Amino acid sequence: MSVPLVEIVRSGFVEGCHHGSVVALDADGTVAWSLGEVSTPILPRSANKPLQALGMLGLGLDLPPELLALACASHSGEPEHVATAAGVLAKLGLDAGALECGTQWPSREPVLRGMVARGEMATPLHNNCSGKHSGFVCVACLMARQAGAEPIEFVRGYVAAEHAVMREVSAALSATTGVDVDHAPRGTDGCSIPTFALPLRSLALAFARCGTGQGLSDGHARAARRLRQAAAVAPFMVGGTDRFDTRVMQAYGERLFCKIGAEGVYCAALPELGLGIALKVDDGAARAAEAAMAAVAQALLRIEDELLRGYSHLQLRNWRGINVGSLRPAQALSQALAP
Amino acid sequence: MSVPLVEIVRSGFVEGCHHGSVVALDADGTVAWSLGEVSTPILPRSANKPLQALGMLGLGLDLPPELLALACASHSGEPEHVATAAGVLAKLGLDAGALECGTQWPSREPVLRGMVARGEMATPLHNNCSGKHSGFVCVACLMARQAGAEPIEFVRGYVAAEHAVMREVSAALSATTGVDVDHAPRGTDGCSIPTFALPLRSLALAFARCGTGQGLSDGHARAARRLRQAAAVAPFMVGGTDRFDTRVMQAYGERLFCKIGAEGVYCAALPELGLGIALKVDDGAARAAEAAMAAVAQALLRIEDELLRGYSHLQLRNWRGINVGSLRPAQALSQALAP
């Protein structure tokens, strides 16, 4: 059974609650603490992008830090994200037409409004997954060259589970999580690639391994280190203006290597503690996933500042800007995190 | 304890779940069926707008059907809503400056984009509550005239719990729900008026009474009938394009008098069965509140059509438009509703 993780409080009255589960464990799989159902498979969605990026690096993808950070991103479609993804494709002689992630308007509202005001249209480059997909396209071109195939032909259909690129990316998921994803339930993700059902504890294990290198092949350990450093050097690329992942990695660098996923999933590595964290909010609310991750990070890293507290106790304002309440960790979570 | 009401299914895999509670009962308070915690107070938010409108009618508010429907609305800020609310104020010699609901951009995205493209700014008239607030302003002017006071002075501050208008509106909540809201926990709503914590069963009772007239004063019973008829005649005013409340009242008229509220609340009256329904999704998700209300309405009214099923089994599409799954009633809800 999942447990209450985050409450919604309005004028002192508990108006609602988000249920979910969370686990923190080390690279040996030893659970530091957990709440709820952590052995039941869930769909990790974009929270596993760093693990997929690990697979791409293992295949020989070699990009500067900001592009590696973008490959791990669920970005807000801001001009820097779009231009960077476009640049990756341009070097291959390709454009947005090569991307199979679908078109999405920027989630950053001022950016979206600017585009609308200028009469511009969204493209697949604005899709929050365009960095990862640009990486997939790079890898496909690499593999095509190695196989002596025509790159453009080889790239096409890269989102399919059976495509050579996706098979290698999936193999990295299996290697890092310890779950054979070929035998896991599979869903189609928002960006059309497969997403494999994995227990939270397996996801947390993969992040503990990425944070420490323990339990990974030498190649994956090196790749994990590069990705952590890339996200710390270019945190804007992982999310964007005012985004949780970006703000906390700007503040704490490699201390908190974190990634949000759709439908309430969050994963993180805390290298200094040797821990990986994975959580799922049952109902899929991002506000609750961020609040829970902020509460966990504050407690485990012993950080007391306004940044993380601003998420764990997110202030709620009404249409006149009046403070009408906040989120806060539910009793089950705050007790579990108490020193 | 609340129960699983609605599941999120992706590619056949249950990816998530919304917990909540729901009750259906008659105007005597006899429970037809219920699930979860229905005696614990919740904040009804905008789901109680029809009850507040009842209070306004009781104070002598007399408006044509489309304006009464707008007074019950959480509308999408479309041009018809804005113009209608502006018209109400203009007749009083007032404008958007009289509204104390705060400024909100239209929730209907094409409308918002059109405004942005034309360089227009949102006003309090675009706020989803502007119809109700225009009603409050009308009532305040009426009361000012009766008291021989200066209307503009009297109107100012009408959102405060202690204002004469709000006291009368709150009295109607007490009369219809059977709960003395003066002694209920109180929160500040999104539009700055008070929202009083009431058990779901009391909210359902008020809607059962509104659907039948039983248990109401003659004046409130007449007012309830006028509001039901108004919503059925002008359902667009209650919500807007593609909105649940609008679509179902366009389809079923007075058979299903329903109103959504923020944070996962939904209320409805089913006059032909003499039942009122109230539900709360713990985590506040509108998608789940709509899915649950659609499932309940289908089962109780024995309606089998694509409209309600489109909400109870909402199809989920990804950025390429591929169908990747759906919502569906969780087992606890579907079993409770089985004939």
Sequential DSSP letters for A43-97: --GGGGHHHHHHHHHHTT----HHHHHHHT------HHHHHHHHHHHHHTT--GG
pLDDT at A133: 98
pLDDT-derived band at B85, boundaries 50, 70, 90: very high
Please give the Cα distance from A79 to A86 (Å, whole number).
10
- How many CB atoms are located within 10 Å of the residue B219 CB? 14
Sign of CA dihedral A205, A206, A209, A215: positive
Q: How confident is the model at residue B190 (pLDDT cuts 50, 70, 90)?
A: very high
Average pLDDT of span B167-179: 97
Flag if A324 and B185 touch (Cβ within 8 Å): no
Within 13 Å, how many C-alpha atoms sit on residue B321's CB side?
Answer: 2
pLDDT at position A60 is 86
3-state secondary structure of B60: coil
Q: Write the burial class of residue A33 (CB in 10 Å: 0-12 exposed, 13-18 middle, 19+ buried).
A: middle
Q: Which amino acid is at A127?
A: N
Task: Say if CB B72 and CB B55 are below 8 A apart.
Answer: no
Q: What is the pLDDT of residue B64?
A: 95
Nearest chain B residue (CA) to A115: B117
Complex ipTM value: 0.96
Of A15, A187, A321, the CB nearest to B13: A187
Q: Which of B113, B190, B320 sits opposite A192 (nearest CB)?
A: B320
Q: Does the pLDDT at position B326 exceed 90?
A: yes
Rounded to whole angstroms, the Cα distance separating B278 from B251 reads 21
Instruction: Say if residue B206's pLDDT is above 90.
Output: yes
Q: Select the residue from B1, B14, B15 to test the A interface by mutation, using most A Cβ atoms within 10 A.
A: B15
Amino acid, single-letter form, for residue B15: E
Structure-token match 């409209």, residue found: B307
Sort residue B303 into left (φ over 0), alpha (ψ -120 to 50) or beta: beta
Cβ distance of A187 and B11 shorter than 8 Å = yes
Please name which of A267, A208, A231, A219 lies closest in space to residue A73, comparing C-alpha atoms: A231
Report the pLDDT value the prediction gives residue B2, as an integer from 0 to 100. Answer: 94
Interface test with A, best of B188, B191, B198, B200 (most A CBs within 10 A): B188
Cα of B193 to nearest chain A Cα, Å: 11
Q: Alpha-carbon distance B52 to B170, whole Å?
A: 7
What confidence tens digit (pLDDT) does each residue in B124-160 have?
999 999 999 999 999 999 999 999 999 989 999 999 9
Cα–Cα distance, B219 to B229 (Å, whole number): 15
Q: Compute the average pLDDT of residues B58-87.
A: 96
Of A56-60, B44-48, B247-251, least confident by mean pLDDT is: A56-60
Residue A210, sorted as left (phi over 0), alpha (psi -120 to 50) or beta, turns out to be alpha
**Contact at 8 Å (CB) between A52 and A173?**
yes
Q: Which residues contact A281 (CB under 8 A, 6 or more apart)?
A: A5, A6, A18, A19, A20, A263, A264, A265, A288, A289, A292, B283
Looking only at the bridges linking them, the beta strands covering B275-281 and A265-270 are unpaired
- Whether the predicted model's global pTM rises above the 0.95 cut: yes
Q: Per-residue pLDDT for B188 more than 90?
A: yes
What's the pLDDT at A339? 83
Tell me the three state secondary structure of residue A197: coil
Structure tokens at A130: 């365009």
CA distances in angstroms from B198 to A326, B77, B179, B183, B193, listed in the order given: 20, 28, 7, 11, 16
- The tokens for B137 are 């302003």
What pLDDT was estimated at residue B306?
A: 96
CB-based contact B237:B80 (threshold 8 Å): yes
Spatial CA neighbour of B164 closest among B187, B142, B183 = B142
pLDDT recorded at residue A1: 87
- CA distances B307 to A76, A238, B304, B313, B317, Å, are 33, 40, 9, 10, 18
Please answer yes or no on whether B319 and A101 come within 8 Å at the CB atom. yes
Contact yes or no for A284 and B8 at CB 8 A: yes
- Whole-angstrom Cα distance, residue A87 to residue A139? 15
Chain B residue closest to A194 (CA)? B11
Question: Which chain A residues touch B190 with a CB distance below 8 Å?
Answer: 318-319, 324
- What residue of B is the nearest CA neighbor of A126? B319
Quick check: B12 and A185 CB within 8 A? yes
- Return contacts of B140-147, CB within 8 angstroms, 24+ apart: B140/B164, B140/B165, B141/B92, B142/B59, B142/B60, B142/B61, B143/B59
Contacts with A18 from chain B: Cβ below 8 Å: 282-283
Length of chain A, in residues: 339
What the block records as the tokens of B235 is 């359902």
Determine which of A107, A198, A319 to mutate to test the interface with B (most B C-beta atoms within 10 Å): A319
Instruction: Give which of B3, B9, B105, B319 to mutate to test A binding, by max A Cβ within 10 Å.
Output: B319
pLDDT digits (tens, 9 = 90+) for A264-318: 999 999 999 999 999 999 999 999 999 999 999 999 999 999 999 999 999 999 9
Q: Which amino acid is at B75?
A: H
Question: Are A283 and A290 contacting, i.e. CB atoms less than 8 angstroms apart?
Answer: no
Residues B116, A113: C-beta atoms closer than 8 Å: yes
Residue B324 phi/psi, 5° resolution? -110, 0
Picking from B42, B116, B320, the nearest residue to A116 by CB comes out as B116
Q: Hey, which bits of B11-135 come out as E strands?
A: 13-26, 31-35, 41-42
Interior/surface letters A149-176, b for 16+ CB within 10 angstroms, e for the rest: eebbebbeebbeeebbbbebbbbbbbbb
Give the gap in angstroms from C-alpha B192 to the nearest C-alpha of chain A.
7
A14 forms beta bridges with A9
User: At B339, is the pLDDT very low, low, confident or very high (cuts 50, 70, 90)?
Assistant: confident
Residue A37 Cα to chain centre, angstroms:
21
Q: For tokens 């299996």, what's the residue?
A: A174
Q: Do A264 and B16 touch (CB under 8 A)?
A: yes
Residue of B104, B283, B325 with shortest CB distance to A319: B104
Q: How many CA atoms lie within 13 A of A134 on its CB side?
A: 35
Query: What percentage of chain B carries pLDDT values higher than 90?
Result: 98
Residue in A13, A102, A186 closest to B319 by CB = A102
Low-confidence ranges of chain A (pLDDT < 50): none
